[in-house]
C-alpha cells in the first residue's frame, strides 16, 4: 500500500522537481506513513567522476572525525554539510572524487567498516534523499522543495515485510549500472530465492527490503 510519484520535464531544462514531488507525496502520505524518499535527477552539477555521499553518523565522540580521516585517505573532501536528523544520528553530505564508477561501491564498503557510520547512498547525477517520518518533515529537514532537476521519482512507504529505518526506505539504487534508482509498491514473493544466489555471487545487500533485489 505504498505511494509512488514521478515527474519528468520534456524540455530537459531544470525545474522545481523537489517541490513537485513533495506535493505529490504529501497527497499520497496516507498510503505510506512510515518513511519517504526521493531521487532527483539533474540536481547535482558535478564534473565527471565526482560523487556525493550521504552518510549516517551516530552522535558518538570521534565518529565524524574518524569518518573524515578515512575519506581524506580516499579523496579530498570538496564540499561538506552536516544535517541534523531524527534519533541518535545526523546525515553528513560530502563531495569526493573517484577515478571511475566501479570504485564507488568499494569506497562505500570501506566506510561502512567504520564504527558508528553507515553510507545511505553515493551518486553522481542524481540526489537521493530518504528518511523515516512524514513527507512534510523530511522535505523540511533536507530542504527538498528547493531542489531543481530534470526529472525524479518519490515514494511513501507502508512497511509490511521489513523494518522501518532510512535504509529500508525507497528509492534503492544500483551500484552496477550508474544512475538507476527504483521505487516499488507490492511484494516480491520469491525475494529470498532471488537474493540467495545473488549473495553467493558476491552481491552485498544493505537491507531486508524485497525491493532491493531489483537493483541487483
Q: What is the pLDDT of residue 36?
A: 95
Catalytic, 213? Answer no
Q: What's residue 159's pLDDT?
A: 80
The pLDDT score that the predictor gives to residue 163 is 78
Peptide bond into 171 cis (omega under 30): yes
pTM for the predicted model, two decimal places: 0.91
pLDDT tens, position by position, 64-118: 999 999 999 999 999 999 998 888 999 999 999 999 999 999 999 999 999 999 9
> pLDDT-based confidence at 139, cuts 50/70/90?
very high
Which grid cell sits at 98? 573517484
Query: Residue 216's pLDDT band (boundaries 50, 70, 90)?
Result: confident
* Region 151-174 average pLDDT: 89
What was the pLDDT predicted at 172? 94
Rounded mean pLDDT, 33-56: 93
Confidence of residue 187 (pLDDT cuts 50, 70, 90): confident
* Interacting residues of 29 by C-beta distance below 8 A, sequence separation 6+: 3, 36, 134, 135, 156
In contact, 152 and 87? CB cutoff 8 Å: no
Lowest mean pLDDT among 83-92, 123-132, 145-154: 83-92
Using alpha carbons only, give the angle 35, 176, 103 rounded to the nearest 5 degrees: 100
Q: Which of 2, 94, 107, 213 is catalytic?
A: 2
**What's the number of CA atoms in the CB half-sphere (13 Å) around residue 129?**
29
User: What whole-number percentage of the chain has pLDDT above 90?
Assistant: 80
Strand 79-84 relative to strand 35-41: parallel, antiparallel, unpaired?
Answer: unpaired
Q: What is the mean pLDDT of the chain?
A: 93
Structural domains in the chain, CATH included, are 3-43+129-185 (3.60.20.10), 50-123 (3.30.70.260)
**Dist. CA 48–CA 124, nearest whole Å:** 8
Q: What is the mean pLDDT of residues 29-53?
A: 92
Res 138: pLDDT: 95
DSSP-assigned letters across all residues of 127-173: EEEEEES-HHHHHHHTTGGG--BSEEEEEEE--SSS--STTTSSPEE
Q: Flag whether pLDDT at 1 surpasses 80.
A: no
Predicted pLDDT at 158: 84
The cell numbers describing 152, all together, are 525524479
pLDDT at 197: 94
Amino acid at each position: 500500500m505504498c505511494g509512488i510519484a514521478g515527474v519528468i520535464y520534456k524540455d530537459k531544462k531544470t525545474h522545481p522537481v523537489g517541490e513537485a514531488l513533495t506535493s505529490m507525496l504529501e497527497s499520497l502520505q496516507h498510503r505510506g506513513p512510515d518513511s519517504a524518499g526521493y531521487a532527483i535527477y539533474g540536481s547535482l552539477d558535478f564534473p565527471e567522476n565526482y560523487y556525493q555521499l550521504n552518510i549516517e553518523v551516530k552522535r558518538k565522540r570521534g565518529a565524524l572525525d574518524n569518518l573524515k580521516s578515512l575519506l581524506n585517505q580516499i579523496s579530498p573532501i570538496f564540499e561538506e554539510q552536516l544535517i541534523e536528523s531524527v534519533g541518535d544520528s545526523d546525515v553528513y553530505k560530502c563531495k569526493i572524487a573517484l577515478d571511475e564508477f566501479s570504485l564507488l561501491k568499494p569506497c562505500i564498503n570501506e566506510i561502512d567498516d567504520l564504527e558508528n557510520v553507515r553510507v545511505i547512498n553515493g551518486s553522481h547525477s542524481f540526489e537521493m534523499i530518504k528518511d523515516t517520518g512524514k513527507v512534510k518533515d523530511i522535505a523540511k529537514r533536507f530542504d527538498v522543495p528547493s531542489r531543481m532537476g530534470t526529472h525524479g521519482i518519490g515514494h511513501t512507504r507502508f512497511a509490511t515485510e521489513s523494518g522501518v529505518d532510512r535504509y529500508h526506505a525507497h528509492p534503492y539504487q544500483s551500484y552496477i549500472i550508474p544512475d538507476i534508482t527504483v521505487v516499488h509498491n507490492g511484494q516480491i514473493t520469491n525475494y529470498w530465492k532471488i537474493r540467495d544466489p545473488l549473495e553467493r555471487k558476491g552481491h552485498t545487500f544493505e537491507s531486508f527490503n524485497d525491493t532491493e533485489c531489483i537493483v541487483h
